[in-house]
Amino acid sequence: MVWGRMRRDITDRMCQRECADCPLQGVTPGDCPGDCMGCSYSEYCPCGNRFIHPQFDQLAGGQARSAQAQEISIEHIRRDTPKPPVAEYDKGMIRMLARVLKVLGQPRPLIVKPQKGNQLKYRIVGGMDILLGAIALGWKNVSAQVIDLDDHEAAMQFYRAELLRLDLSWEDQARCVLAIQDLYHERHPLPPSLATLSTLSGLSPSRTRDLLHGITLLKKHRLSDGTIPFPTLLRSVRLTYPEAMQRELIRGLVDEEWTRRRATSHATSRIRKQTLNVVGQDDGNSSGNGRPSPVSVNRVRQLAQVVPPARVGVGGR
C-alpha cells in the first residue's frame, strides 16, 4: 500500500469501469502506481477497483467517534467555521461527497459545539464538506459529536477535519499542517516535534514530514503546487542540498514541466483541428442531413487514439 502518494487532480479517473453506483467515481489518485493486494478500497468500490488514497481511508474510519454521536437537525447548525477553509467548497466537491453519502451513508460524524446562550443551536467545527453533501441530498438530520470547545481547540479540530477532505491538493494539506503547528506553538514555548505534529494532524509521521518538506521548498523558492507536481518535487529536491543546487534542480523541473505542458497542448490542438477537418469533409456518404458519414466518424475515432491527451492538471483542485 503506497500511503505517501495521493491524487493530483479531482478529475483523474483511474477506474475505467465507470459504474453508475460507484461513490468514488472521479476521486481516485493519479499517483498510485499499481494494484496493491489487500487494499481496503475494494471494501468501498462496488466494482472492486483497488486504487485508494489516504483521505478516503480516514474518511471511513470514524466508527469509534460515531458511537458517541447523536442525530441533530441540519436547521440547528450554523455554517460558519472557526477558520476560513484552506480551499473553497466548490460544486464538484459537494457532488462527489453527495455520491459518497448516498452509497455509504455518513462515514463519520460532524464535530459541532453548542452555541452560547442556546444549547439547542450548534456551530460547525469540523466536517463542513459532509454537511454540504448532506444538504445537497436533502437530508434533514446528520450525525454529530457535540463538544464544548474554546476557540483554540475549535481551530485545532477544524484543521484536523480539513485534512480529511477528499479534494485538497498537497499544498493545501501542507497549509493545514502548518496551521496546526502554529496553533500548538501558541500555547507551548517550542514548536511540536514530528511525532507530536503527526498525532495532532492525524497523519503518519512520514506523510507529515513530506508535507512540511514540500511546503518549505514551495515557500523558499516562491513556487505554487501547480508549478511542479508535488511528488516530483519531493523525489528530486531535498532541503539538505546546497542552496545553489536546489535552485538549479527546481529551474530544471520547471522548464521540464512547461515543455511537457506545451507538447500536450499542441498535440491536443492538432487532434482537435484534424477532427474538425474530417467531420467537415463530405466524402459522398453523407446522408444529406448534415451528419457526418460512418467513415468520417471512424476516422475521428482513429485520430483520437493516435495521441491521447494527457492530464494537464498537476496539483490543482
Specify the pLDDT at position 277: 57
Specify the pLDDT at position 139: 93
| Amino acid at the residue 308 | P
Q: Which residues, at least 6 apart from 165, have a Cβ–Cβ distance to it below 8 Å? A: 55, 87, 93, 129
Question: What's the rounded Cα separation, in Å, for the pair 111 and 118?
Answer: 17
Strands (E), the chain: 70-73, 77-78, 110-115, 118-126, 141-146
Render pLDDT for 207-264 as a digit per residue (tens, 0 to 9). 888 888 888 887 777 776 667 777 777 777 776 777 788 778 878 777 777 777 777 7
- Flag whether pLDDT at 294 surpasses 60: no
What is the pLDDT averaged over residues 261-288? 58
Specify the pLDDT at position 315: 40
What is the pLDDT averaged over residues 259-273? 68
- Flag whether pLDDT at 181 surpasses 90: yes
What is the pLDDT averaged over residues 26-32? 42
Specify the pLDDT at position 105: 83
Choice between 63 and 114, residue whose per-residue pLDDT is larger: 114
- Flag whether pLDDT at 134 surpasses 70: yes
Choice between 11 and 24, residue whose per-residue pLDDT is larger: 24
Specify the pLDDT at position 52: 40
- Flag whether pLDDT at 146 surpasses 80: yes
Question: How far lies 297's CA from each of 34, 271, 275, 289, in Å?
Answer: 34, 14, 9, 15
Choice between 101 and 293, residue whose per-residue pLDDT is larger: 101
Choice between 93 and 270, residue whose per-residue pLDDT is larger: 93
- Flag whether pLDDT at 183 surpasses 80: yes
Render pLDDT for 42-59 as a digit per residue (tens, 0 to 9). 444 434 333 344 444 444
pLDDT grade for 269, boundaries at 50, 70 and 90: low
| Amino acid at the residue 136 | A
What is the pLDDT averaged over residues 303-308? 45
What is the pLDDT averaged over residues 68-79? 88
Sequence ranges of the domains in the chain:
1-60, 62-168, 244-283+293-306
133-147, 172-186, 235-249: which has the minimum mean pLDDT? 235-249
Choice between 299 and 106, residue whose per-residue pLDDT is larger: 106
Choice between 290 and 159, residue whose per-residue pLDDT is larger: 159
- Flag whether pLDDT at 202 surpasses 60: yes
Question: How far lies 113's CA from each of 133, 195, 224, in Å?
Answer: 20, 28, 35
- Flag whether pLDDT at 180 surpasses 90: yes
Specify the pLDDT at position 267: 65
> Is CATH 3.90.1530.10 the classification given to domain 62-168?
yes
Pairing of strands 110-115, 141-146: parallel
List the one residue out of 156, 157, 155, 166 whose CA is nearest residue 132: 166
- Flag whether pLDDT at 314 surpasses 50: no
